[in-house]
Amino acid sequence: MVKLSPDTATGGFVSYRYYANEVSGFSFNHIGGADGGDLTNLLTMATTGPLHTYWEGKPGTGYQSSFSKQSEAASAGYYAVTFDDYKIRAEATAAPHSGILRFTFPENGQSRIQVDLAHRSDGTSLHQTVKVTDDHTIEGKVDCPWQGGGWRFGKTSYTLYYHMEFSKPFTKVGAWSATLPPIWSDMKVPYHSIGKGVNAPDFVKACQNAQVIPGCREKEGQHIGFYSEFSTRPNEVVMVKAGISYVSIEGARANLAAEIPDWDFDHVHQLARDSWAKALKGLSVEGGTEDHKKIFYSALYRAMLFPQIFADVDGSYPGGDHKPHQSSTFTNRTLFSGWDDYRSAYPLLTLVAPSVINDQINSMVSLADLNGTHDFTRWEIMGCYSGIMTGNPEVVVINDAWQKGIRNFDSEKAYEYSANTTDSDGNGKLGYSRGSIAETFDYGVDEWNVSQFAAALGKKDDAAKYQQWSLSYKNLFDPKQAWTYDAAGTDAKPEWKGWFRVKDGNGNFEPWLGLTSPMGGRESSVYETGWTAYNDVPELINLLGGKELFAAKLDDFFTRSPDYSKWNAHLASPDPIAGKSWSRAYNNPGNEPTELIVYLFNRAGAPWLTQKWVLDEEQVYTTGPDGVPGDDDVGQLSAWYVLSAIGLAQVCPGDPRFEIFTPLFDKITLNFDPKYAKGKSFTITAKNNSPGNPYIQSATLNGQPLNRCWLNYGEITAGGTLDLVLGPQPNKSWGVE
């Protein structure tokens, strides 16, 4: 629940930028790596000198401080930086529901800790309260309605409750309160609808000119903050700790008491390290380069940050009916980046943290039940349905879990809500999605998953219906369409014919604009999208001419893609914080639509090409600040890297088949949760592993020859060893069974 982290870019949706040289404080909750912002509440800052009530401004006019990169330190469960403007050393660590900050002050007669209670990423809270309850404690709440902005300007609303304690008793406290421009008081429309934002001059001026109220011990308002002021000796340490809850102040109080009862910062830090060490033991690697290990473990770390806890230590959580509920059988969680994460993040979690999968499914079923919709969203945040992106990815996560034996949830409700979701939003009405190839294909994967879930539950008629719907992608196939890459047809493969085209509402094909056209794609081109009928790969191969021709066409797709060895994000623009992305025409390792395509060579009888191109694609991940090739999207890109690096990945989540290809490491060990697996561990070894030996020559499973390029999830979790022998040239007879 708590992700206590520095905020260096407080006005937009990115809260921390590596290239920034100013920091505005530490907020207690964050979203990681998504193309949108929210949270970043309880922005806490240590300062000296005159009080400032806004984070930015000309030097000396805001409470932010400059810092040098050399003063930063970061590791699992710890971050530190020195505020150059105030000569204060700041350190942060966290527990699941609480966090603690340690500030080391210089000698100063006017030192303080201040908390901006209105702060919210890409928007603002529009109502806050604070109350001093004793000589070292404040409590209150932060209301973040959708009108204040936040996640993609959608209908995301939540209330955060906090209990915050200071190690230095209060001697001088106060509050500040800003009167925002009239539009912020309207509460009828979101701020962005009139082109306003938290960086708008009238908003900034209102915050900078906030009324300061010395001695104030209780306050509520539209835009308020709290401060405790004191004198400090040289190197005096003052700490702040807080528990948060989305249920109640009592919950926030109990969360802090349970996790950080004293002021032992180093102990909390050690517990955080121990917690991460335990979590990361689910997957370990040996061999490879040091850079590969750094990239791998940091990717695994990011992939395991979500879906994050939404419940208090006693199991209480905010339900979809906006009332508190409690569970002792699962931990309620939030931040389901469905369209992104169903592809790799959740398949990875089924291997290393299956209990989290149960938590997530129970959370989504509970939410759909209590909010009265009885269906699932494609992007959930803070108990709200944002509706961002396409498809119905939750139904994929549910079926994938069921097929793998992860079943500690109400299967009848999960199925009912999956069916409701699919019936209301999918390919059933027209037999395709009007104007969109991407939606048709996405819905097809979803519908196939519901069909499989229905069959598993004995619902034969439903299984047949959804299976038929899942084949809708074929209605967009034009066998006569020549392969032209551009609209003019100057770049073409005249010997190749047949691809997918957009249809209008009357069943007519829209004009052809070339394979690289974005028409009908979703953050993708026609060329990218047409490979993604993951639910029906054998028939997709047949449509495109059979295995040999399919592999040739797919190899063409990767051959035309960028040279990954020469690409790095910081080289894409002279502006180090400018947006960067791959061209949406060919394979794009920095975005989700193409991430699973590379594994399709295994299905086409050419596994050596999966081996080749996965290793090639992995080169875009580096150890530098631009080491992830795009928005991590709540861990998805990182999870893709982890699975690709261990040489096991699913083409179609919901189908428990994992493709085998060349790992980066000499030895990989998966350690299983005994509640969910028959075996204790599964080990993969790669003999002769080196950059000069990228191809699998042979394999054995538990000592027996293996000539297929895949394993079932059950074979993996039963435990055992997969031994691979690598070599410099493709063995085109291995893995083709």
- List, for residues 371-409, the tens digit of each pLDDT value: 999 999 999 999 999 888 899 999 999 999 999 999 999
List all residues 6 or more positions away from 674 whose beta carbon is below 8 Å from its beta carbon.
Answer: 680
- Distance CA(577)–CA(69), nearest Å, equals 16
Neighbouring C-alpha atoms within 13 Å toward the C-beta of 96: 19
If you average pLDDT over residues 647-671, what whole number do you get? 98
CA 1 to chain centre: 14
Dihedral sign of CA atoms 674, 675, 679, 682 in order: negative
Q: Is 414 exposed, middle or buried (0-12, 13-18, 19+ CB in 10 A)?
A: buried
Q: Taking the CA atoms of the chain, what radius of gyration do you get in angstroms? A: 27
List all residues 6 or more positions away from 519 whose beta carbon is below 8 Å from its beta carbon.
Answer: 502, 510, 513, 526
Amino acid letter for position 584: R
List all residues 6 or more positions away from 540 whose beta carbon is below 8 Å from its beta carbon.
Answer: 473, 531, 533, 550
Model confidence at 300: pLDDT above 80: yes
pLDDT at 579: 41
Cα end-to-end span (Å), the chain: 46
- Distance CA(299)–CA(26), nearest Å, equals 23
pLDDT at 306: 94
Q: What tokens appear for 115 in the block?
A: 């908390």
pLDDT at 691: 94
Cβ atoms 653, 675 nearer than 8 A: no
Instruction: Identify the DSSP state of 684.
Output: E
* Percent of the chain scoring above 70 in pLDDT: 95
pLDDT at 580: 43
pLDDT at 186: 64
pLDDT band at 575 (very low <50, low <70, confident <90, very high): very low
Instruction: Identify the DSSP state of 509.
Output: B
If you average pLDDT over residues 124-133, what whole number do you get? 96
Cα-flanking dihedrals φ and ψ of residue 122, to 5°? Answer: 55, 35
pLDDT at 573: 42
The domain spans of the chain are 5-279, 282-310+573-737
- Distance CA(11)–CA(641), nearest Å, equals 31
Other beta carbons within 10 Å of 551: 22
3-state secondary structure of 459: coil
Q: Where are the alpha helices (DSSP H) in 227-305?
A: 249-259, 265-280, 290-303
**pLDDT tens for residues 664-708?**
999 999 999 999 999 999 999 999 999 999 999 999 999 999 999
Q: Please give the class, per CATH, of domain 5-279.
A: mainly beta
- Distance CA(350)–CA(303), nearest Å, equals 12
pLDDT at 324: 97
Amino acid letter for position 568: N
Model confidence at 352: pLDDT above 50: yes
**pLDDT tens for residues 28-82?**
999 978 877 899 999 999 999 999 999 887 777 899 999 999 999 999 999 999 9
pLDDT at 189: 60
Instruction: Identify the DSSP state of 511.
Output: P
Instruction: Identify the DSSP state of 512.
Output: P
In CATH terms, the superfamily for domain 282-310+573-737 is GH92 mannosidase domain (3.30.2080.10)
pLDDT band at 191 (very low <50, low <70, confident <90, very high): low
pLDDT at 577: 41
If you average pLDDT over residues 653-666, what whole number do you get? 98
Does an H or E element contain 284, and which?
strand 283-286
If you average pLDDT over residues 251-274, what whole number do you get? 98
- Distance CA(51)–CA(115), nearest Å, equals 12
Cβ atoms 164, 116 nearer than 8 A: no
Which residue did the predictor score with more confidence, 503 or 584? 503
Which residue did the predictor score with more confidence, 565 or 670? 670
Model confidence at 571: pLDDT above 60: no
DSSP bridge pairs for 164: 138, 242
pLDDT at 153: 64
Whole-structure pTM over 0.85, yes or no?
yes
Best CA proximity match to 63, nearest among 244, 170, 212, 234: 212
If you average pLDDT over residues 327-352, what whole number do you get? 96
If you average pLDDT over residues 315-339, what whole number do you get? 96
If you average pLDDT over residues 556-566, what whole number do you get? 84
Q: Which CA distances in Å does 159 have to 119, 130, 248, 249, 563?
A: 13, 14, 9, 11, 47
**Prior bond to 728 cis, omega within 30?**
no
pLDDT at 147: 85
Q: What tokens appear for 729 in the block?
A: 């040239």
- Distance CA(21)–CA(102), nearest Å, equals 21
- Distance CA(471)–CA(621), nearest Å, equals 35
Q: What tokens appear for 195 in the block?
A: 């082109």
- Distance CA(3)–CA(29), nearest Å, equals 5
- Distance CA(680)–CA(82), nearest Å, equals 45
Cβ atoms 318, 245 nearer than 8 A: no
Other beta carbons within 10 Å of 21: 12
Cβ atoms 434, 505 nearer than 8 A: yes
3-state secondary structure of 255: helix
Q: Round the average pLDDT of the chain to a whole number and report it.
A: 93
Dihedral sign of CA atoms 572, 577, 578, 581 in order: positive
Dihedral sign of CA atoms 675, 677, 678, 683 in order: negative
- Sequence length of the chain is 737
3-state secondary structure of 25: strand
- Determine which of 57-66, 229-238, 560-569, 601-610 has the lowest per-residue pLDDT on average: 560-569
5-279 and 282-310+573-737 share one CATH topology? no
